[in-house]
Amino acid sequence: GVVNSNLPQTIWDMHVDPKARQELLDLGAVGFICAHFFDQDGNFIDHEMNERVIGIKTEKIKQNKIVLIAGGLSKCKAIYAILKGGHINTLICDDMTLRKVIEADKSYRGDKDEY
């Protein structure tokens, strides 16, 4: 999921109080996976919200086979960040969003070559 989106995000909208939302944004949160928040480089944010999750812990996410199913242009930044962090090994996504993610990667690397 993404943070601070105009689209409904159940975890962000219903389970994160306004104070924690602002703290996460101040720490650079761009998205969440398995209810754990991460920054633009795919690093999990050191915030109590990540410690209160009942479920898989952040250190175990990379060790497991995580399949991410995500799409929509509003999620490009979060998808790119989680890929950059190396936390997933399979992505199922629509082609328009994936093209935007590839463009972000090319821009980040300064790469002008076509894939």
Mean pLDDT computed over every residue of the chain: 86
Q: What is the DSSP string of the chain?
A: -BSS-SS--HHHHHHS-HHHHHHHHHTT--EEETTEEE-TTSPBP-SHHHHS-SSS-HHHHTTS-PEEE--SGGGHHHHHHHHHTT--SEEE--HHHHHHHHHHHHHHHT-----
> pLDDT band at 114, cuts 50/70/90?
low
For the chain, give the percent of residues with pLDDT over 70: 91
